[in-house]
Structure 1
């Protein structure tokens, strides 16, 4: 993803002959609890007469240390760049707001004017935004051009608080990064209103936020007011056909747009065709377009290729590309920059629809399968409560996911996916079949555990549901253990037709995260550990590394 050259930003905000200088303590893994712990950083700040940047990434600050550093910052009005990502590992959430507030107060007292503020990879949640609010509303951020808040766990409340802070006085951001924050529709809509008033965005990146077409539509309205937008990343949200139509409606205003990443957004054929038509009708000259893993049918893929600029980097892996003739046409039009598969020289991973007509008929149902009410059901507690859901609209989506577990199909089930899957499986009457189905479903989800934050959240909800339902079956303990051992590849399966559809490494990492929870049966825990320990030496290297990187899965723990 393209980003601004920070040196260019600094040069534009300073004298042309000025040398960029500052203090960089990135990656030192320092644990700074007291003002004494922070002394090396304070001394470096005091020794730098022209502190244009301060980088504290990869250390962990307590309140007292942050307050001491803030005192040193009070003497540096020239500060332009604050890189404070990954800075509170191991801290209580209650420590983070006062630490952030103290650093902000130091910059406010100095009269600094930041051009870049990076607070990514700090899991401070909504409460952290409260500590940031004063800084974001102050003159320190009046000239802010780049705000990075990736992977902060903001949630809907945090998104609203952030929007409120940014809206309090006019801002002219060029870059806004806020991926992996579970903003959902409400958080995205609140921020969209801010972007609409802003009008200066050039790069927007909000992947993995659980945003559906309503939030996408609100963002698309904001895009229309930001004609300088060059780069747009909404990867791993649920854009769908309705969201794609809203984006297509905004494209005529975005003459500078060069890069789009809509991978894993459940566009399907109807959404892809809407975008293709908009690209063609409005002569959008994209240099990079990622539409991978969107369950797009063959005809729609060819429309995208026809609409794309020759030589553009078009990523279509994980869709239905058709035969050799189709791929040859794509190569001739797009050149070697086209990405048609996830692996070198292989198209074996592509999504294949039974027919274009069937694909389009199911799109609207999949896109809206998670109702607004269902999105807020909480099943994350260690205990399990019986849930009654109307899943009539989700039956096909669950079946599609269990047949081919992908991130896009999992998102189609909504944030209440664990409860929807649970309701779907409870109709199975035979105890053996029921146990098999619950284990398969749990492994289908947890197989995505490594590369998908949403899958990890759903896994933590699905495991206690599975164990509860299985526990209601007579003499089910041994059968559950046998089924899980086969699913993990620890013993051979007698059923040759029942082959795993999930990634084993993700399943092992997920198991490591839940195996010591109080709802996990001790006998099952001991059995799994025994077999894992016995087979460890002969396991494939990637699985072995996944197991050894955890401290809960083998008997030496």
Structure 2
């Protein structure tokens, strides 16, 4: 090693600091290639008694240098925290696993009990994970509390290797009656995609101890999000969820919303740039109304959320005493929508909570032909997680599925016949037979439930017997659909709004050609006690913002809007 280099190294090492059991070489920019290049560093490690934390981030280690440092660590059994991010800049990818394996073997040999391991910003790919998988499985990691692997290029393969290592660590530690209780997991920018995310979800579910999950920018779409949602539900101590810049769409958001209903400790949710969209935002608003009691921050930026849905979210945070920040920037509100949102927040005395809206995308196009293209991300997604089984359970709470219905076979046949071709005569016949249409309403399928309701409403007429039968059936169906959880009822109302043309939906659900009778049935329903105030508020927002969608039934639309407004402002 040249004398000038030795002088530079000595000067750099003189700037290291030692405190509270920590030896730090952070950010010195040292290029450490050979054993000779780290002699001073090794000497300091060897001479430091009670070493508990070692910072090597911001330097670059070759294989020989790593082996020399590893040798020094073999006697450091008290070491708990390894901050080793950005440690291989300029190194061949083939070198990194060897260097990591040397360091890991030293930790295992020393009998360390790690609590933190940070290897972020090391672009080592799947092979790098292979370099630490034995360490992760070993007793040295049975005590691990924080694992940071941000921006490591793990890919699907690395994600699977990591997941298996964590599960093996948990199995071995659980056998010793001291199971792995990882609290913080960070793995953003790793191209994990659905398969990698799904594998890690199994590990998360097994551990059940996570308090923070950070997995932004991983190319995960709804199938992987559904798998992660199942794991989220099994980690009751979760405080921070960061899935920024993945692709939730409606299906993933509904799955995550259902999982969030069961969590009481969440403080930060970052679903920004996740294509949550309006229906997903409404589902999250439902969860805000019935759960998440100590939430502080909610990021739904860049999610293609429209004005009315954003207002529903804003109203839902009213009763959150700990809320500090609501980020709805980069959505599709338009100038008037942004102003309306600011006004709502000001009226609730929460103007300071709302972040900037400077990057708003403006109001979306109203062309109906866009609906199918919006679902392309979902159609291309992997079916590995069996969307029908997973998604079919998302909004099922208190509803009755058709196959579980207690209705008699005759009732099933009669109602099916009625729904296939509804008429006033058939509805009156059902009433005479004491068969109730709501018996066969599938409350776990909001789209079909909304379709049934509108079919019943389409039979409305001024004939007294028909009118009475239609309103009774309409009330019975709607009462059932609004009596479940807020999430279930909000999902149903979203589907109804889509069919009525008041909300742009996602997927293949199309709006129907409304007739006045359907709106008159709704006018009647919103005046009934079974129709909760917060549901009235939701309808009011959409009717007041998108009322033009009902102009084909202008008179009935005005009556409905008037009834909703009166009920909404009634004290």
TM-score, normalised via structure 2 length: 0.59
Give the structure 1 partner of residue 78 of structure 2.
78
1:352 and 2:363 matched: yes
What CA distance in whole angstroms lies between the structure 2 residues aligned with 1:147 and 1:267? 28
Q: Could you tell me whether the CA contact under 8 Å between 1:268 and 1:360 is conserved in 2? A: no
Residue 154 of structure 1: aligned partner: 154
- TM-superposed CA distance for 1:371, in Å, is 4.7
Equivalent residue runs for 1:237-248 within 5 Å:
237-248=246-257
Alignment of 1:15-414 (within 5 A): 20-170=20-170, 171-282=180-291, 284-308=293-317, 309=320, 311-321=323-333, 322-333=337-348, 335-341=350-356, 347=358, 349-355=360-366, 361=371, 365-368=375-378, 370-372=380-382
Aligned-partner Cα distance in 2 for 1:268–1:358: 16
1:283 deviates by 5.0
- Give the superposition deviation at 1:372: 4.3
In 2, Cα distance between the equivalents of 1:255 and 1:146? 21
Q: TM-score, normalised by structure 1?
A: 0.60
CA shift at 1:364, angstroms?
A: 5.2
8 A contact 1:272–1:300 mirrored in 2 = yes
* Cα deviation, residue 50, structure 1: 1.0
Does the aligned pair in 1 maintain the 2:302–2:328 contact within 8 Å? yes
User: Displacement, 1:312?
Assistant: 3.1
Q: Deviations over 1:448-480 (max 9, x none)?
A: xxxxxxxxxxxxxxxxxxxxxxxxxxxxxxxxx
- Cα deviation for residue 138 of structure 1 reads 0.7
Distance 1:40 1:140, change over 3 A: same
- CA–CA separation in structure 1 for the residues paired with 2:164 and 2:338: 51
* Aligned 8 A contact 1:207 1:235 in 2: yes
Offset, 1:349 = 3.5
Does the aligned pair in 2 maintain the 1:266–1:367 contact within 8 Å? no
Counterpart CA distance in 1 for 2:280 and 2:376 is: 12
User: CA separation in 2, counterparts of 1:334 and 1:136?
Assistant: 49
* Separation in structure 1 between the aligned mates of residue 359 and residue 34 of structure 2, nearest angstrom: 56
User: Structure 1 CA distance, aligned partners of 2:80 and 2:69?
Assistant: 16
Change (3 A) 1:271 1:120: same
Name whichever structure is richer in helix by fraction: 2
Work out the CA distance in 1 between the residues paired with 2:147 and 2:248: 24
CA contact (8 A) 1:331 1:338 kept: no
**Do the aligned partners of 2:238 and 2:266 also contact (CA within 8 Å) in 1?**
yes
1: CA distance between counterparts of 2:329 and 2:123? Answer: 32
5+ residue gaps, structure 1, are: 1-18, 374-411, 413-557
Q: Distance in 2 between matches of 1:293 and 1:118?
A: 30
Equivalent position SS for 2:185: strand
C-alpha separation in 1, matches of 2:368 and 2:103: 56
Q: In the TM superposition, what is the alpha-carbon distance from 1:335 to its structure 2 partner? A: 2.0
Distance 2:40 2:59 in 1: 13
Distance 1:49 1:63 in 2: 26
* Offset, 1:327: 1.8
CA contact (8 A) 1:295 1:351 kept: no
- Please tell me whether the aligned partners of residues 265 and 292 of structure 2 are also in contact (alpha carbons under 8 angstroms): no
Hey, what's the Cα distance between the residues in 2 that align with 1:112 and 1:283? 38
Work out which of the two has the higher radius of gyration on C-alpha atoms and give 1 or 2.
2
Structure 2 gap segments, 5+ residues each: 1-18, 171-179, 384-505, 507-571
Change (3 A) 1:371 1:216: closer
Deviation at 1:332, TM superposition (A): 3.2
Using the TM superposition, name which of 362-371 and 55-64 deviates more: 362-371
Distance 1:300 1:232 in 2: 22
Counterpart Cα distance in 2 of 1:215 and 1:289 = 21
Q: SS in structure 1 opposite 2:117?
A: strand
In the alignment, the residues of structure 2 paired with residue 277 and residue 304 of structure 1 have an alpha-carbon distance, to the nearest angstrom, of 8
